[in-house]
Amino acid sequence: MAIWLVLQAIWLFLPAMAPNSAALLVGGGTPIDFGRTMGKGNRRIFGDGKTWRGLIGGFLAGLTLGLILLGIAYLFGSETYWGFGNFPDSIIIITVLSFGALFGDLLGSFVKRRLGRERGENLFPLDQYDFVIGAFLFVLIFKPDWFLDHYIRGENIIALITILITIPVLHRLTNRMGYKMGKKEVPW
């Protein structure tokens, strides 16, 4: 039973995990803050690591992956368990998971710049969890029952713990990959 909960937790969270990896692959070009700075220190709002291409590409990647997962769930006739609920609900959940993840990542960079940290500078646990917080926050706002049912209530808390434990590991792995591919300046 617990193993299924763990697998389901990761499966349902994939639309939130894809966007930042996709942004790493397709990102670049015009920064979201257009190079603008704010405050006394003249620090960037978000920095060069947050680009429009990454934002849009990442969002579409999360959405696409979510639709694929949904298709698989429908194919096996278990849209309620492996899916995200009924079709309209599913679309909302996938959309907010993907957008929430990117929003959280953006907010993380905003906080880092305010703290005077340069782009790419490691700041644990903000770098690792900013997108998780964003995704969960958005889904909590738009589909609270889905979030509580799958990640909080009863033994589903295992799902939340699974996510929190695996995320830093996955984060490390994807960033190292990005570094090897020349997409990232630092391997963390």
Residues within the interface to Mg ion (CB under 5 A): 127
Q: Does 49 bind ligand CTP (CB under 6 A)?
A: yes
Q: Does 62 bind ligand CTP (CB under 6 A)?
A: no
**Residues 95 to 134 in contact with ligand CTP, rule: CB under 6 A:** 102, 105, 109, 112, 119-121, 127
Helix, strand, coil % over all residues of the chain, rounded to 5: 70, 5, 30
Judge if the upstream peptide bond of residue 187 is cis by omega within 30 degrees of 0.
no
One-letter amino acid of 184: K
Contact 8, 159 (CB under 8 A): yes
* Residue 66 or 178 with smaller CB distance to ligand CTP: 178
DSSP lists the bridge partners of residue 37 as 44
Pick what 57 binds: Mg ion, ligand CTP, none; C-beta below 5 to 8 Å, kind-dependent: none
Neighbours of 87 (CB within 10 A): 12
* Pairing of the two strands 37-38 and 43-44: antiparallel
Pick what 27 binds: Mg ion, ligand CTP, none; C-beta below 5 to 8 Å, kind-dependent: ligand CTP
Q: Which residues are near ligand CTP by CB under 6 A? A: 23-24, 27-28, 47, 49-51, 54-55, 58, 102, 105, 109, 112, 119-121, 127, 184
